[in-house]
Structure 1
Amino acid sequence: MAARIKQGDAKQLLRSSYNFLLKCTYRVLSVGPIPKHIAFIMDGNRRYAKRNNIEPEDSHRPGFIALMSVIKHCYELGVRYITIYAFSLDNFRRKPEEIVRLMNWMREKIETFLEDDSFINKYGVRLYFVGNLARLSEDLQAAANKAMEATAKNTTTFLLVCVAYTSTDEIVHAIEESLPHHGKNRKQENTFDDFSIELAELEKQMYMSVGPRPDILIRSSGETRLSNFLLWQTDRCLLYNPSALWPELGLWNLVWAVINFQRHYFYLQKQQKLM
């Protein structure tokens, strides 16, 4: 019994020490500027599954756990906007059965996320689904709309989920929406004389107009490609490519990214003023 008590005390001491270390880390970083928006390319789920003998159909589960952890750490750090690259338009080139499986998995995770009221309320998470949502299955569209409506009143943490998304599609969409014959901008048909698209108007039509430009873009697994993600919005943000696979991404990766942001903050601010 004494051994068990001592073992339990040791675990409690470790937990207390870890929590104290977390608080100290958050406090130290809060002295400097904190990024408003961090975007993530969640790379390495399948490699992680293969390395850990996880079945392919379960390969995204560790990644979902990592996402929940990232949201918690971003909240504690004071990062208000989080964007994730969940599903590219290019993924529709995969085998039909794999696409169906991924759609079902995303719908399941949206429902799981909404069921965790304590998590949503504690971190004040508001969900946005960003992209060409018409390409999604009807049940996934319904789940996404339900999630956005259910979290619409939350204002603390904004989670932007890029799904059925590529940056080139976003730019084409924004241009089409800005044309004089399209949508609310409809004018006299076939009249393009002296027509020009204002930059501010074009950016309003972007899928990503619901949030500010990212301050940091993190791609896990050490890859250095942007993979057609936020090409318009990342022209002046920091890029960070830790070797950790997405399910392995942890607090210390975020800490290093924030420290790097703080080191370059004044240069980035100067560049923003030149825009």
Structure 2
Amino acid sequence: MQSWYAYAGVAALMLAYIVVVGIYGQQSSLPLKKQCAAVCTYVQGKARLLAVRILKQGPIPQHVAFIMDGNRRFAKKAHMETPSRGHLAGFTKLTKVLEWCNDLGIKHVSVFAFAINNFNRSTEEVGALMGIARDKLRDLAENSELVNKYGVRIRVVGFRELLPEDVRESIEYAELKTRDNLGMTLNVCCPYSATDEISTAIRRLVEDVESGQLTAMDVSEAELEKRLQIPCPDLDILVRTSGQIRFSNFMLWQSAKMAYIQFVDAYWPEFSFYHMARILVSWQLVSGDIKRRKRASAD
């Protein structure tokens, strides 16, 4: 019996060691760091797949949006040389989140990549962001397993005339390469603002009435929604990271239609599958009530 306790104690110590190294692997100087980190990653991957299977037993949202906030503060917290390092970490996190959404069966994902008023930031930071957009959009379309294996379609929405020519070329390339894909749709909002989206839709309605394509009596909520830049199913969940409790002019029309709003107290590069699973479970618990309220408001 004593030997059994000894073995159990050793096993518990080894498990604790693996967990500690898995969590603090980047900073750890403990022996076997790489081996234990690899084991921890493997275990975490298997646990995530099991969690996905369990979550898919309940309702799955069709459209989820993310305000990817906190990249600059993450860079400062991690003592990175420039804010652009934080934005690169944010892109890496985006690819992970898209993998989770794809595994869960979410059909539409919208991300707030760059706001129109972000052009007011320093020339160096805007230039770095434009470079990331140019390179990563093309890389995502060419080399991503999400595109090549799972058929993700990339759409960029917003006032793209404000973007540099090389960024517009990357956008056109990514959209053209993925336009026939039938998997998840990724809406990259860049440069975007909700008020610009709504005012543009109204202007198009007016033009269509003036040209005779519509009559004044045809103008309706449904007709306006057809002219929005993000023509997706109703927004189910809106997530904002970094602990800030505000919309920052993102998808205001869509959010007003009973979207489930969640504010996460973590910078975007720190957003984890645990955060994602917790949000999804909480939405599943209220999704039936949301559907009933939508039907009641439509009657």
TM-score, length of structure 1 as denominator length: 0.88
Q: Distance in 1 between matches of 2:35 and 2:71?
A: 36
Q: Distance in 1 between matches of 2:237 and 2:174?
A: 26
Aligned mate of 1:216, from 237, 241, 244: 237
Instruction: State whether residues 138 and 173 of structure 2, in contact with CA within 8 Å, keep that contact through their aligned partners in structure 1.
Output: no
Please name the residue that 2:165 is paired with: 138
Please name the residue that 2:25 is paired with: none
Counterparts in 2 of 1:160 and 1:24: CA distance versus 1, 3 Å: same
Aligned mate of 2:153, from 117, 120, 126: 126
What letter matches 1:24 in structure 2? L
Instruction: State whether residues 72 and 123 of structure 1, in contact with CA within 8 Å, keep that contact through their aligned partners in structure 2.
Output: no
Aligned mate of 1:30, from 56, 59, 70: 56
Q: Distance in 2 between matches of 1:139 and 1:260?
A: 42
Query: Residue 28 of structure 1: CA displacement?
Result: 1.2
Q: Distance in 1 between matches of 2:176 and 2:125?
A: 28
Q: Distance in 2 between matches of 1:35 and 1:193?
A: 35
Please name the residue that 1:80 is paired with: 107
Further displaced range: 228-237 or 129-138? 129-138
Q: Does 1:18 align with 2:44?
A: yes
What letter matches 2:80 in structure 1? I
Please name the residue that 1:94 is paired with: 121
More relative contact order in 1 or in 2 (CA 8 Å, sep 6+)? 1
Q: Distance in 2 between matches of 1:92 and 1:43?
A: 16
Aligned mate of 1:51, from 71, 77, 85: 77
Describe the superposition over 1:236-275 as per-residue Cα deviations: whole angstroms up to 9, x where unpaired.
0111111110000011111011001101011110122123
User: Structure 1: 5+ residue runs without aligned partners?
Assistant: 1-6
Query: Residue 54 of structure 1: CA displacement?
Result: 1.0
Instruction: State whether residues 81 and 157 of structure 1, in contact with CA within 8 Å, keep that contact through their aligned partners in structure 2.
Output: yes
Q: Does 1:110 align with 2:137?
A: yes
Q: Distance in 2 between matches of 1:267 and 1:26?
A: 23
Q: Distance in 2 between matches of 1:267 and 1:72?
A: 28
In percent, how many aligned pairs have the same letter?
A: 33
Q: Distance in 1 between matches of 2:38 and 2:159?
A: 48
CA RMSD of aligned residues (A): 2.3
What letter matches 2:45 in structure 1? N
TM-score, length of structure 2 as denominator length: 0.82
Counterparts in 2 of 1:154 and 1:185: CA distance versus 1, 3 Å: farther
Describe the superposition over 1:192-223 as per-residue Cα deviations: whole angstroms up to 9, x where unpaired.
995662221111000011x1122110000111
Please name the residue that 2:66 is paired with: 40
SS in 2 for 1:187: coil
Q: Distance in 1 between matches of 2:122 and 2:162?
A: 16
Larger Rg, first or second structure (1 or 2): 2
Q: Distance in 2 between matches of 1:222 and 1:239?
A: 13
